[in-house]
Structure 1
């Protein structure tokens, strides 16, 4: 049987040998064997293990597709994620020193989406197997906050109540300060019997809110999340930072980038992850494409004490970015786009007089592309902070300070 020496780790966490040949679960420097299926190895056996190989801390690691790097040491993962950012920047001709990632601890995920399918005896809830539609129960998951793990039986009950016999539903759980917020998508149509069953389920498990296919089915109390001095009730299924520790690291980096601003524009503001903390120091104009999120942000600001004024605007920044003349009203900007980046909005920032930009990103490649646009326009990249909010995954986040030079 042919032996393969793993040369590097790919962006999806697979080991890569010459060819290229992809070996899931292998690490650089290891010699492996397996059955070649196209360009991928199956039935892999590690002949010579790497010094960076560790025993996965989770009992579900071999089957669950939720994590890609539990078999690698923390030090290796930290260095690899730094290198992912370094290579993305180098591809745009940018070089800068990077910190060791700030990594969220185990058992800290406060938000997760579970797949649920009905069975003959009830329902099964969990995550998908690696590269499969098969659902794996994850009662011992080492990522999830214990509040979410304890709710898995409730999630299975939801599936039994509301999933079709052939379909799969998605149940998003978010831990709030006042109980779990539950958002179900893909469920059968709501009727009186289902609504009554959900009400009983909410009472039994002391749930804060249940939404069903995008609509609030019942709310026993508002699911509240504290961001800085404010309390936010996000709309059902709204984007939130996955861990409190990751959110704190990102906020602190943004605050460090934008010390003592006179006025701030927050682009892709969501429910106010950065707008609310920055309003402790300066007026903020928050722009977000989802009106429900801007409404939640506005309500949180109005109920908070001691914050500067936050104005808000529901606007599609991909199709209708703030133009330079609008941006010139502000001396500082936060931009936190989705994975696709924000080429159109960054092009307008590049033409603006905004003096400092805190650039937050969950995709090093689009971050590097957009940063290169700003550098060509006369900004300097002063520092980049790497944040590993999604422990044991291939995802990496970062915050950077760009300052317009004189």
Structure 2
């Protein structure tokens, strides 16, 4: 017998021996571990629930379906709280916002041809084995409906010896599909794929970065302003999560007449913010900036949006460039943005809305801002990746 003392930030249970980590267990549970590694729950936690997905144990894509929603919410809040406390900071935490089941609008599927037909699903954790997941509880009904098209597409894209990957994004005009495959794209195949896209209502079909056909531009609605992101470009995981982050950013920057949006992507925040303020959007990927610019030009009743393609890791905006802005929005990748945060800290900007997908780098960057006179007013945890260890944060910083 052994006792689970706690969970790591990845959801692994820590045994009381101080060394062993076990999956799918909860703090306070008594467990036994067989010689073959099988874990048996002897005394279950009151927070243990029946997993809502029948693929939970075989798929491996979800880490926390055996825990109650309330437990997961508290656990994710605590992950962020510990990261902030480790930097000597303290702040107010707003209630966590958790996206509902069946709300993930993008997924990466794997497929292969078999003797009996095709196999479509996700890779089992840590393997190259494809597990069929027809009842996945994460993805939207629209992505479920796209499965038939993907299964048909496997016959075009995969051989018996190689797998194929599909990145699929739900849109209002049909699935937006990007194909990763080793199969050569011939002129004949290009024509067949165009017919396939028309037959299956595919909005856009991309083959190894080459756009085969766009039946209908796969636009995304960013707070009432539409834009067509490049195929596979960054997109918030759920519409619910995006709305929570957007509303928080709008609240934080309320009253600002000029805002700089750093790591702007395809316009998640810049486009809705342009309803009330002039925006300067900066992003390292030129095709995302082009999508943002097109979205603004085709929008109605928007204030001026200027845009710039720039590597903010190598060339952050300097304090003199930031002087003309009332507020800044920054949504960096997982590595954070210590160089850009340093110039923001040294600038005259008084208001910062920071969005982060990594509590550790968020806390590091927050510490630098606080050290230069900012107040960390509040933090909100946003759980777009339900049943996973992934955590996102939006936070308000101001200084007098």
Q: TM-score, normalised by structure 1?
A: 0.96
From 66, 69, 80, the equivalent of 2:64 is 69
1:365 paired residue number: 360
Moved more, 106-115 or 152-161: 152-161
- 1:358 and 1:197 map into 2 onto residues whose CA distance is 47
From 356, 359, 372, the equivalent of 1:377 is 372
1:276 paired residue number: 271
2:11 paired residue number: 13
- 2:274 and 2:96 map into 1 onto residues whose CA distance is 27
Structure 1 residue 117: Cα displacement: 2.4
Structure 1 residue 156: Cα displacement: 2.2
Note the 1:169-208 alignment, pairs <5 A. Answer: 169-208=164-203
Moved more, 166-175 or 379-388: 166-175
Structure 1 residue 134: Cα displacement: 1.1
CA contact (8 A) 1:177 1:226 kept: no
- 2:130 and 2:278 map into 1 onto residues whose CA distance is 47
Structure 2 SS opposite 1:84? helix
- 2:337 and 2:162 map into 1 onto residues whose CA distance is 35
Note the 1:303-322 alignment, pairs <5 A. Answer: 303-322=298-317
Structure 1 residue 155: Cα displacement: 1.4
- 2:35 and 2:333 map into 1 onto residues whose CA distance is 36
From 291, 295, 298, the equivalent of 1:296 is 291
CA contact (8 A) 1:79 1:100 kept: no
| Root mean square deviation of aligned Cα | 1.3
Structure 1 residue 398: Cα displacement: 1.0
- 1:53 and 1:88 map into 2 onto residues whose CA distance is 26
- 1:256 and 1:74 map into 2 onto residues whose CA distance is 27
Is 1:30 equivalent to 2:25 in the alignment? no
- 2:159 and 2:265 map into 1 onto residues whose CA distance is 32
| Residues 277-304 of structure 1: per-residue CA shift (max 9 Å, x gap) | 1111100000001100000000000000
Structure 1 residue 4: Cα displacement: 1.8
2:156 paired residue number: 161
Structure 1 residue 163: Cα displacement: 2.1
1:258 paired residue number: 253
- 1:106 and 1:229 map into 2 onto residues whose CA distance is 24
CA contact (8 A) 2:261 2:329 kept: yes
1:350 paired residue number: 345
Is 1:341 equivalent to 2:339 in the alignment? no
Structure 2 SS opposite 1:383? strand
1:239 paired residue number: 234
CA contact (8 A) 1:126 1:137 kept: yes
2:99 paired residue number: 104
1:82 paired residue number: 77
2:116 paired residue number: 121
Structure 1 163/380 Cα, relative in aligned 2: closer, same or farther at 3 Å? Answer: same
Structure 2 unpaired stretches of 5+ = none
Q: TM-score, normalised by structure 2?
A: 0.97
Moved more, 16-25 or 308-317: 16-25
Structure 2 SS opposite 1:277? helix
Structure 1 residue 109: Cα displacement: 1.1
- 2:186 and 2:384 map into 1 onto residues whose CA distance is 39
Structure 1 residue 187: Cα displacement: 4.1
Structure 2 SS opposite 1:338? coil
Structure 1 255/76 Cα, relative in aligned 2: closer, same or farther at 3 Å? Answer: same
- 1:401 and 1:322 map into 2 onto residues whose CA distance is 20
Is 1:404 equivalent to 2:399 in the alignment? yes
Structure 1 residue 218: Cα displacement: 0.8
Structure 1 residue 399: Cα displacement: 0.5
Structure 1 unpaired stretches of 5+ = none
Structure 1 SS opposite 2:170? strand
- 1:333 and 1:299 map into 2 onto residues whose CA distance is 22
- 1:404 and 1:202 map into 2 onto residues whose CA distance is 53
Is 1:332 equivalent to 2:331 in the alignment? no
CA contact (8 A) 1:360 1:399 kept: yes
Structure 1 SS opposite 2:382? strand
Structure 1 residue 340: Cα displacement: 0.7
- 2:335 and 2:361 map into 1 onto residues whose CA distance is 6
Structure 1 residue 320: Cα displacement: 1.2
Structure 1 residue ranges, 4+ long, deviating more than 3 angstroms after superposition: none
- 2:242 and 2:140 map into 1 onto residues whose CA distance is 15
